[in-house]
Amino acid sequence: MQATEYKERLHEALRDFLWDQWVALGQAGHASGRPVPFMVDPEALLLGTLRFAMDEGRFRSEVPDWLSKNGGLVSVQRIKNLDLATRIAPPQGLRALSEFMQKAGHRNWKTVATRVSAGAAEADGFPETGGRGLSMPPDLARPEAFLLRLRMVFGMSARAEVVTWLLTHSGGHAAGIARETGWFSKSVQAILNDLEQAGMLVSRTEGKRKEYTLRPRAGLWHPELGAGLRWFAQGMFCVGLHHVLRALEAAADPKLSAAARAIAIRRDLVPLETAFRLAGLDEIYGGAHRELGESLVRRFAEGTSALIRILETRECLGS
């Protein structure tokens, strides 16, 4: 398969992957029928959509419709945090999002477009009005919407993400939880301290770090709360996807020799491998940086085939 074919297949699988998540949160439209086997991260989903899908009509129509009705469930601060950490969304797309949400009555979105100056070229990415008006509020009983459910309980703060992360992991330390939830380490540490003082967490010290886990004692947490849910670091996954698509674009010229194609791919290889490792998918391209020439090109093609299969089957996504 040629690089252009890989790119087309990857785009198609990726856009269905994003679309199905929006539908799971109440957006109008028909899903592909494939599962969304993890809790949807609305901020990472939005940034990924801005990067990979807003040139497609169904997204340009229906995503603004959902946001105009449910924008209050999306964290403006977390949008900014994830944008700072990932730089996935195009700056002009962020500006267009900010302007659209302000017109829709969400004035607190004014600070989202921090990377675009007022004198920049006209923003593009969202229509003047929403879509067909058919989007619904999320069904908070669905596992995909669990994070939004906890936001209704804890409010639009880091507490909802931290508790959700703890419910879906056996334990962790403040810095790692902060990285995966998209909040600052000091904020996460303060929340962990509060929860430990309230008797809802236990901790143990490993070297210079404290590891926190939910206290299993009956009565503090309902045993069904969060049971079977899967956390997925979609922000870092989107970073990896961005670098894969850049590498495919760079390697698409049929006139390139295998050595030149390998050099083009290698430019994105380290950030690509790092991003997928942080997303829990290091096996996709793991070790590719140790290959050279035709061997590297072949290893990259194998990894991209595996990535497309994962997007199509939704297997291995989430912990």
- Per-residue pLDDT tens over the stretch 112-164: 876 665 545 455 556 655 567 889 999 999 999 999 999 999 999 999 999 99
* Distances in whole angstroms, Cα of residue 196 to Cα of each of 172, 175, 225: 13, 16, 18
How far is the first Cα of the chain from the last one, in angstroms, to the nearest whole number? 31
Mean local confidence (pLDDT), 69-79: 94
pLDDT of residue 121: 46
Nearest to 236 by CA among 189, 181, 279: 279
Q: Is 210 helix (H, G, I), strand (E, B) or coil?
A: strand
Q: Give the dihedral of Cα atoms 212, 87, 232, 284; nearest 10 deg.
A: -110
∠ CA 266-241-117, rounded to 5°? 100
Return contacts of 250-257, CB within 8 angstroms, 24+ apart: 251/3, 251/297, 251/300, 252/2, 252/3, 252/4, 252/7, 254/2
What region, left, alpha or beta, does residue 314 occupy, with left being phi > 0 and alpha being psi -120 to 50 degrees? left
Q: Where in the chain is the domain with CATH 1.10.10.10?
A: 157-214
pLDDT of residue 319: 79
- pTM comes to 0.92
Higher pLDDT, 128 or 213: 213
pLDDT above 90 covers a percentage of the chain that reads 67
CATH 1.10.260.40 for the 157-214 domain, yes or no: no
